[in-house]
Amino acid sequence: MNQEAYQVYCRTRSRLNALRYVSFLTGWDMQTEAPAGAAQSEAAAQGELAALQYEIAMAPDYAAAVEALYAERDGLDEVLAHEITEQYKELDRTRRIPKDEMIAQQELLGRAYGVYVEAKQSGNFSLFEPYLERILAYVKKTCSWLETDTLHGYDVLLDRFEPGFTRKEYDAFFGVLRERLVPFARKVAAMKLDYDKGFAEKTFPVEPQRAFCEYLRRVLCFDTARGLMKESEHPFTDGFGTDDVRVTVHYYPELFTSSIFSVIHETGHALYEQQCDPALNGTFSGGGASMGLHESQSRLYENMIGRSRAFWEPHFPKLCETFPEQLQGVSLDDFMKCINTAEMSFIRTEADELTYPLHIMLRYQMEQDYIENGLAVHDFPARWNELFTEYFGITASNDTEGVLQDVHWSYGEMGYFPTYALGSAYAAQIYAAMARELDIDAALRSGSTQAVNDWLREHVHRYGASKYPREILKLATGEDFNPNYYVDYLIGKYSKVYGLQ
Amino acid sequence: MNQEAYQVYCRTRSRLNALRYVSFLTGWDMQTEAPAGAAQSEAAAQGELAALQYEIAMAPDYAAAVEALYAERDGLDEVLAHEITEQYKELDRTRRIPKDEMIAQQELLGRAYGVYVEAKQSGNFSLFEPYLERILAYVKKTCSWLETDTLHGYDVLLDRFEPGFTRKEYDAFFGVLRERLVPFARKVAAMKLDYDKGFAEKTFPVEPQRAFCEYLRRVLCFDTARGLMKESEHPFTDGFGTDDVRVTVHYYPELFTSSIFSVIHETGHALYEQQCDPALNGTFSGGGASMGLHESQSRLYENMIGRSRAFWEPHFPKLCETFPEQLQGVSLDDFMKCINTAEMSFIRTEADELTYPLHIMLRYQMEQDYIENGLAVHDFPARWNELFTEYFGITASNDTEGVLQDVHWSYGEMGYFPTYALGSAYAAQIYAAMARELDIDAALRSGSTQAVNDWLREHVHRYGASKYPREILKLATGEDFNPNYYVDYLIGKYSKVYGLQ
């Protein structure tokens, strides 16, 4: 190995990692406790950190080191070879994007966000339309700047968020959903579950909610010596390496299941980070392998574990004990119905497990229509509403509940949404593989998820980002991506909940 | 003005400020909430940030810009001229310190800290002696590297911590203390205050202590839109600009006055930062003018305001209401005696207002003995004990209570201690000036410190670091530093408390 290049590489990597770490801490501070007055200067500091990282990553000595190591990648150990390949690709991508255009886009995004919020609040798409036009024009240009022999158009964006997944794979995936899942979801969502829903509408004070989430934290074995749990407006997980992983929760007194499932969801993300091989700390190969694989872990914990009867058998009594008044006389059966209800609704982030992928299919179609089929930004609301009625059978009365509901496009992120549905599908395939080796329900009835955590560490988490997500999926499940596990799981589960068997 | 140089200067200043800001946030995180596992990687990130700041501040284009602006400093506006002069001096100092020696010292400090802690815990000076010898040898070399026409030896260190104060000024200051204060303090400390001390030894639960500190926060008008208050092992204040100022508290159930006076002390520091002219945000001229002037504000609030009867007249009932059981039947008179007792003791940080400066005089003498008079590190304990007996009339039984008690020398900080005593003396002089214009007691009896805050903002705080501390003192009080205000204040106050009038 070119030792000189490797030393330059390691030196710069350690500096870039330090900057990413403090950038994470600054963001964490902004979202969890910074005084209001600090917002502007913390944002400015984040901007300087981003510029500094860009300059360091593009410095000639570092770029030359990456190129030198890439040239001899076949002789490097497997983890380093993968990392260098990814860094080389990233360097190549960054070089292809005109710097002045990138800066102009960053500035535009900074100015656009407030307008987006205002447009969303007032349901006034036309207010945001000129901004969105310019933001997405840059995104479309990105596709041509980053085009390769094998990646064109929308595929460029898709592959960035989930390496190895382009329209070919997604079309097959969504095709299976369209054929098998959509008719089933439409049928189930038209039915009503028969139970006394009164308890779910009661008020659940924040303090006992907090205590119960701390209880769940222990059930899930989230290690607080290497992480912490705090509150923020929107729950999220972030961290750096295996030894500093942080999650947040938000407590709604009028919706007590929200904090429960968001804690389980975020802890799924957190366990993925905490259970990565610690030898990868300090490299660029730690953390999750992709957006889709990360989301698979949060959803596996939230939906497959966290909404299962076996999970709640040991913990439901604790929940009743925590809220004796609100849950008096409520049976585990009714609670299970409450947390596994499916219905058509407008807002993606509030959708249930069954109808969720329909929201993603709609966005996938919209993004293709824009990038590939000439859909004008001006026509986004009409096209959205047309597709929504087609998939869901209901029509939103305004753009706040429609095309303006998600922040992603206003950030210039296209190609991201599909990873959400992919994550659920990965989760089902991984869960099926785990079930072949482990009696999951028996493990959950023991009162802790430790056995599940152990299986996932061994088969998924420990690899970090040292392999591509499809490779990890194959190692963990013995086969390439297969969306039928997901459809089988959803149809099996909801047939049981709704008595359709 | 050389516009090109000024642009380079502003560009680099903004980048350095961003790095200082995130470095502050990282330190804040480490001291208030980071999981234990994060300690090592956060410290490593801090090291990278420090190295990066050094490189940026020493970059040829920035250095050339500082030199160009320094050359035309007479034509610059007053604030910028002062700032450029300070940056020029700092650049000059940094250049004079051999980089390899600086790095070796940083590494040594990193390794030495754990040994210091172990030596302090076991009272074993000889364990730490070889480290301290090397740490202080570097400090002594610093004096020769940074020597100028006017600054030699120990003066180099003194002037760095408090510009304009060298042995000449400190000798005069401590001479007055030795002559007028030491005999008085010895006399008072030998007396006993007659009151029922029982209440001070009771247990005061943390939760109501927290509520009372929040009450004090409002009394002192600390603005939480531009700052926050949290908990940490050792209370401190830190921040960035006027809009992000943070203080911490520590609650001891067995020592209820600790949190009260540490909140008032830290809020004194915080008000100095919050009340700086906001036009100085984003420059290097915000924040406090010196260690001594910063300490003057915390001590003015803690001792002169916070231990005064006028302050407690409106707030003592609230304190009794917060701790109805512990303070039942306690009079304001007894409470005033409790918080204004003087006695000889071994530990500087626990010393009362009257005997505190004796601790500083001892350290000033020790530092001079080492830098100027050939005292060997090996003889530190013996010399310490000799001086302690001379000043205090009592002798410590071990080095934990003696020469090992403070962390400063183990960090290579000599010349810092004298600013603590200077701060108290500044405070007395500033308080006397304020008293000529404002009926302070009447203001405090109104229940808020707003009038005091306003006076200090106008006469001290708003200048930030845009002038030297001696200039600010002169602007605020109408005369140069005069230690007699301090001695008059202490003798006047304690004569009254101890009935010596």
Residues 6+ apart with CB under 8 A from A189: A342, A343, A344, A354, A355
Residues 6+ apart with CB under 8 A from B36: A225, A226
Give the pairing type, strands B227-231 and B245-249: parallel
Structure tokens at A67: 């190129």
Contact B89, B151 (CB under 8 A): no
Q: Which of A83, A162, A169, A266 is catalytic?
A: A266
Contact A338, A200 (CB under 8 A): yes
CA distance B43 to B59: 24
CA distance B286 to B280: 5
CA distance A167 to A365: 11
Q: Is A266 a catalytic residue?
A: yes
Contact A294, A247 (CB under 8 A): no
Residues 24-53 of B with CB under 8 A from A: 25-26, 28-29, 33-38, 40-42, 44-45, 47-49, 52
- Write the residue in B17, B37, B41 that is nearest to A225 by C-beta: B37
Q: Is B227 in the A-facing interface, judged by CB distances under 8 Å?
A: yes
Residues 6+ apart with CB under 8 A from B217: B224, B229, B263, B267
Instruction: Please name the residue that has the structure tokens 């183990």.
Output: B410
With CA atoms as reference, report the closest residue to B237 among B272, B206, B212, B213: B272
Q: How many CB atoms lie within 10 A of CB B321?
A: 11
Q: Is A382 in the B-facing interface, judged by CB distances under 8 Å?
A: no
Residues 6+ apart with CB under 8 A from A181: A357, A487, A490, A491
ipTM rounded to 2 decimals:
0.94
Q: Do A226 and B37 touch (CB under 8 A)?
A: yes
Contact A445, A310 (CB under 8 A): yes
Residues 6+ apart with CB under 8 A from A146: A93, A96, A97, A156, A160
CA distance A117 to A128: 9
Averages of pLDDT over runs of 10 residues in chain B (501 residues) are 96 97 96 94 93 96 98 97 97 95 92 93 96 97 96 97 97 96 94 94 97 98 97 95 97 96 98 98 96 98 98 98 97 97 95 97 98 98 96 92 96 97 98 98 98 98 98 98 97 96 73
**A contacts of B42 (beta carbons < 8 Å):** 21, 25, 244
With CA atoms as reference, report the closest residue to B139 among B154, B121, B123, B151: B154
Please return the burial class of B225, using the count of CB atoms within 10 Å of its CB with bins 0-12, 13-18 and 19+: exposed
CA distance B326 to B200: 8
CA distance A67 to A61: 10
Structure tokens at B186: 């010895």
Contact A426, A443 (CB under 8 A): no
CA distance A487 to A472: 21
| φ, ψ of residue A402 in degrees (nearest 5) | -120, -120
- If you count residue pairs, one on A and one on B, with CB atoms under 8 Å apart, how many are there? 117
Predicted pLDDT at B157:
98
**B contacts of A40 (beta carbons < 8 Å):** 243
| φ, ψ of residue A218 in degrees (nearest 5) | -75, -40
CA distance B199 to B256: 10
Q: Is B16 in the A-facing interface, judged by CB distances under 8 Å?
A: no
Residues 6+ apart with CB under 8 A from A108: A131, A134, A135, A138
Q: Which of B169, B266, B302, B367 is catalytic?
A: B266
Give the pairing type, strands B227-231 and A237-239: unpaired
Q: What is the pLDDT of residues A265-321, one digit of tens each?
A: 999 999 999 999 999 999 999 999 999 999 999 999 999 999 999 999 999 999 999
Predicted pLDDT at A69:
98
Contact B319, B327 (CB under 8 A): yes
Mutate: best of B232, B244, B280, partner A, most A CBs <10 A: B244
Residue of A nearest to B282 (CA): A41
Length of chain A: 501
Quote the pTM value.
0.95
Residue of B nearest to A11 (CA): B48
pLDDT in tens, chain A (501 residues): 899 999 999 999 999 999 999 999 999 999 999 999 999 899 999 999 999 999 999 999 999 999 999 999 999 999 999 999 999 999 999 999 999 999 999 999 988 999 999 999 999 999 999 999 999 999 999 999 999 999 999 999 999 999 999 999 999 999 999 999 999 999 999 999 999 999 999 999 999 999 999 999 999 999 999 999 999 999 999 999 999 999 999 999 999 999 999 999 999 999 999 999 999 999 999 999 999 999 999 999 999 999 999 999 999 999 999 999 999 999 999 999 999 999 999 999 999 999 999 999 999 999 999 999 999 999 999 999 999 999 999 998 999 999 999 999 999 999 999 999 999 999 999 999 999 999 999 999 999 999 999 999 999 999 999 999 999 999 999 999 999 999 999 999 999 999 997
Alpha-carbon distances of B375 from B144, B159, B170, B390, rounded to whole Å: 18, 22, 20, 18
**Three-state SS sequence of A392-417:** HCCCCCCCCCCCCCCCHHHHCCCCCH
| φ, ψ of residue A184 in degrees (nearest 5) | -65, -45
Residues 6+ apart with CB under 8 A from A78: A466
Predicted pLDDT at B139:
97
Alpha-carbon distances of A227 from A21, A258, A447, B206, rounded to whole Å: 14, 22, 22, 25
Predicted pLDDT at A1:
87
CA distance B499 to B28: 45
Q: Do B37 and A228 touch (CB under 8 A)?
A: no
Q: How many CB atoms lie within 10 A of CB A189?
A: 21
- Rounded to the nearest 5 degrees, what angle is found at the Cα of B366, between the Cα atoms of B360 and B162? 55
Structure tokens at A388: 């929504």
CA distance A45 to A39: 10
Tell which phi-psi region holds residue A398, choosing left (phi > 0), alpha (psi between -120 and 50) or beta: beta
- Write the residue in B34, B52, B225 that is nearest to A35 by C-beta: B225
CA distance B370 to B362: 12
Predicted pLDDT at A308:
98
Q: Do A37 and B228 touch (CB under 8 A)?
A: no
Predicted pLDDT at B385:
96
Structure tokens at A13: 């990597």
Residues 6+ apart with CB under 8 A from A414: A136, A139, A154, A157, A367, A370, A371, A408
Can you tell me whether residue A376 is helix, strand or coil? coil
Structure tokens at A383: 């096209």
With CA atoms as reference, report the closest residue to A175 among A343, A319, A364, A347: A364
Tell which phi-psi region holds residue B393, choosing left (phi > 0), alpha (psi between -120 and 50) or beta: left
Contact A402, A388 (CB under 8 A): yes
Q: What is the pLDDT of residues A75-84, one digit of tens each?
A: 999 999 999 9
- Helix ranges (DSSP H) in A97-165: 99-122, 125-145, 154-161
Crossing angle of helices B291-299 and B418-437, rounded to 10°: 60
Predicted pLDDT at B1:
87
Name the DSSP class of A181.
Answer: I
CA distance B288 to B238: 11
